Structure 1
Amino acid sequence: MNFDLLALNPIALNLGGLEIHWYGVIIALGALVGVIMAMREAKRRHLDPDNILDLVLYGVPIALVGARLYYVIFELPYYLANPSEIIKIWHGGIAIYGGLIAAFIVLLVLCKKRNISPWLMLDIAAPSVLLGQIVGRWGNFMNQEAFGAKTTLSFLQSLHMPHFIIEQMYINGAYRQPTFLYESVGNLIGLALILILRNRKHLLKRGEVFLTYLIWYPAVRLFVEGMRTDSLYILPGVRVSQALSLILFFVAIGIFIYRRKNENDPWYNEL
């Protein structure tokens, strides 16, 4: 049997030659739910929800550019030889860390212009970003990308995954580790933890919801990235995302400890 024929169709709709990919639909759905979550939390934190909409309006396109630029930089020899491919984002090649860095800069500029605490805005945005990452990995699933090394059918069955996931992990003549699923589930656990912690009084201070995200996500990515087969490398044997994850993990912990010792910030849940 040709298991490749069992793969799910990455095209959701074909409208007169215009192809709408499941990847885009899933990303858009994750973004929509994330925006709604952030707007509700902004209102609860006495912040005008329109600031969230403006952050999305400016941040999303710039984040896409940042995600693409990040990828191109670390694959520069290829793109110097094929410059026409730089803008062809539909051929693949975006990096979440590049998008996060670009969106972070947009957030800081917006907060500066509107005299909003960047720590508060980051606290509100972080869970929504994590939700987007959880949902977005299923776009990778539909595209049969961001997978891991070869494995066996018996191993995948031992994980008690739904059959449609196992079928989709049959790629290029072999079963693959579902690293998209490992990251999505890891982030789902992190999201649940963050939502529980942020609603506890006298537990997290302003800025610490974001810092918790900045500790959790890099830890998950550090683990999962080591299993992927499509990593970008900064040096032979050194994966870019793992190196950046380590830096962010320890920087976030350091900032967390420093702010607790030296700053008298309000409790997040009593703003």
Structure 2
Amino acid sequence: MNGIEIGVNPMIGHFGPFMPTWYGLLVALAVAAGWWLGVREARRRGLDTEKMRSMILWGLLGGVIGARLFHVVDRWDLYAGEPARALYVWEGGLAVYGGLIGGVLAGLVYARLAGLPFWKTADAAAPGLILGQGLGRLACIPNGDATGAPADVPWAFVYTNPASMVPPELLGEPLHPYPVYELLFDLALLGLLWSLRGVYKTDGLLFVTYAGVYAAGRFLLTFFRTEQVWFFGLQEAQAVSLAVLVILVPLLAWRLRARGTAASGRGGGRDLKNAAPKGGSAG
């Protein structure tokens, strides 16, 4: 067999009425790691950590709804015959982009209601978001719900368990280990954000950097996936990536203009101060 066999059952086992899955366990660990880092960054930035925890809860709820909705739309072939299965989140199948969009919108609503400074809060959340995304990709490995494109490489994944979410026609076929690719990319992006979090002085720039770099990377990485094509040969994630990049251009210009305005204001204040004679008032 050319590649690494993935034959694990996505379900851990039966424990009375409970049927835990590897996907649920690993996603929970990823959420916990992202939560911890987000609260840690909020504390470092002087934000109300209790409000930050509440915002994360809102974001999680909105994220799960958005992630499931995007996944169901993208893989409607799996749910057309049994629409009720779209509600079975525990089976796996959460689209990262849907989770990000739903989570950010829910977080924005809470930030407005709670009086949190949105851009400062978004910057605090960015490292935790990408950490959670990266670790969350580990959950996709036993579940098979981020199916890579056919590949002829020695590190290919070969799924053999029919209980996985890999399309039946791709069982036993060597596939790109897409979850590993994105995990490595996400960790590299986390390193970038970590190095910039003390450099940027304008609120919002770190979050915009996170969203922009992730969108560009996701657009390229998706060439190694096998999902539904939306239009012009682009898969769902690629179409959303392009839309995100288009939206981020004016956002970046806005935050850079805010930085320039703040810098000129500080500079102007110094000039006026220095222009006053040392002996008394100029009048």
TM-score range for the pair, normalised by the shorter chain length: 0.7 to 0.9
Matches of 2:115 and 2:9, distance apart in 1: 47
Q: State the Cα deviation string for residues 149-191 of structure 1 (Å, max 9, x = none).
A: 2223xx225xxxxxxxx6xx11212221111111110111000
Q: 2:204 aligns with which of 204, 207, 210?
A: 207
Query: Which residue in 1 is equivalent to 2:244?
Result: 248
* 1:21 aligned partner, one-letter code: T
Cα 1:262–1:120 shift into 2, 3 Å? closer
Does 1:261 find its partner at 2:257? yes
Matches of 2:142 and 2:173, distance apart in 1: 17
Query: Which residue in 1 is equivalent to 2:154?
Result: 156
Q: Secondary structure at the match of 1:170?
A: strand
> TM-score under structure 2 normalisation?
0.79
Moved more, 211-220 or 63-72: 63-72
Does 1:189 find its partner at 2:188? yes
Q: Secondary structure at the match of 1:99?
A: helix
| Equivalent residues in 2 for 1:27-176, closer than 5 Å | 27-75=27-75, 79=79, 82-152=82-152, 155-157=153-155, 169-171=157-159, 172-176=171-175
Matches of 1:100 and 1:194, distance apart in 2: 17
> Residue 19 of structure 1: CA displacement?
2.0
> Residue 243 of structure 1: CA displacement?
1.3
Matches of 2:46 and 2:28, distance apart in 1: 27
Cα 1:156–1:17 shift into 2, 3 Å? farther
Contact 2:58 2:107 survives alignment (8 Å): no
Matches of 1:97 and 1:258, distance apart in 2: 23
Matches of 2:150 and 2:236, distance apart in 1: 22
Aligned-pair Cα RMSD in Å? 2.6
Matches of 1:60 and 1:101, distance apart in 2: 11
* 2:184 aligned partner, one-letter code: V
Moved more, 77-86 or 172-181: 77-86
Which is greater in Rg? 2
Q: Secondary structure at the match of 1:151?
A: coil
* 1:10 aligned partner, one-letter code: P
Matches of 1:130 and 1:41, distance apart in 2: 13
Matches of 1:20 and 1:254, distance apart in 2: 44
Q: Secondary structure at the match of 1:12?
A: coil
Identity %, equivalent residues:
30
* 1:104 aligned partner, one-letter code: V
Query: Which residue in 1 is equivalent to 2:215?
Result: 218
Q: 1:237 aligns with which of 227, 233, 238?
A: 233
Query: Which residue in 1 is equivalent to 2:275?
Result: none
* 2:239 aligned partner, one-letter code: A
Q: 2:225 aligns with which of 200, 225, 228?
A: 228
- Structure 2: tracts of 5 or more residues without a match: 160-170, 264-283
* 2:34 aligned partner, one-letter code: G
Moved more, 46-55 or 69-78: 69-78
- Structure 1: tracts of 5 or more residues without a match: 158-165, 267-271
* 1:156 aligned partner, one-letter code: P
